[in-house]
């Protein structure tokens, strides 16, 4: 093999490897699991910032029926800031899993596909440090990611 052919082969292999790596990365970023995690991250970032109107807007209509917007905004701030003495929190997201035919409660119709995202919120308040762990469910509705909490007993 001549020197020029060897260099060409190496360049071709590098281009192919970069193409494969780029494709895998793009597929990961665009995966429904990753998009669900990004939606949950956005929701809790709004909550962290006290932008409860924006977080409420990310709720699925089933959740919006449970909480009047004005009441949700007032209640979230009241419970965490006034009762628990917390001004902010950090959070982590773990374990995203697809679930089919999930129900928010026993009386609602099933949602075809949701993504269960485990969220841990870490607080430092007047009653000490504590962590609240909650399963959050993300689903795509009319092209937008919407969030739900579980109310089954």
Q: Across residues 113-137, what is the average pLDDT?
A: 94
Neighbours of 148 (CB within 10 A): 23
Residue that has been written with the tokens 């590098």 in this structure: 14
CA dist 14 → 25, 26, 84 (Å): 16, 18, 56
What's the pLDDT at 126? Answer: 83
Task: Give the DSSP H/E element, type plus range, for residue 37.
Answer: helix 32-48
pLDDT: is 55 or 124 the higher one?
55
Does the pLDDT at position 1 exceed 60? no
24-59 pLDDT, tens per residue? 666 555 699 999 999 999 999 999 999 999 999 999
Q: Across residues 61-83, what is the average pLDDT?
A: 90
What's the pLDDT at 2? Answer: 54
Phi/psi class of residue 84: alpha, beta or left (left: φ > 0; alpha: ψ in -120 to 50)?
A: alpha
CB 100 within 8 A of CB 113: yes
Tell me if the domain spanning 31-149 has CATH number 3.90.420.10: no
What's the pLDDT at 151? Answer: 94
């Amino acid at each position: 093999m001549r020197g020029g052919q060897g260099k060409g082969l190496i360049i071709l292999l590098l281009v192919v490897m970069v193409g494969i790596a780029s494709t895998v990365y793009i597929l990961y970023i665009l995966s429904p699991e990753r998009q669900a995690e990004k939606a949950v991250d956005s929701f809790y970032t709004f909550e962290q910032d006290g932008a409860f109107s924006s977080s409420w807007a990310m709720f699925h209509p089933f959740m919006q029926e449970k909480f009047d917007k004005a009441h949700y905004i007032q209640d979230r701030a009241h419970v965490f800031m006034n009762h628990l003495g917390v001004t902010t929190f950090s959070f982590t997201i773990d374990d995203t899993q697809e679930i089919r035919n999930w129900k928010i409660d026993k009386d609602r119709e099933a949602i075809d596909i949701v993504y269960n995202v485990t969220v841990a919120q870490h607080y430092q308040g007047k009653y000490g440090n504590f962590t609240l762990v909650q399963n959050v469910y993300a689903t795509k509705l009319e092209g937008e990611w919407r969030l739900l909490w579980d109310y089954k007993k």
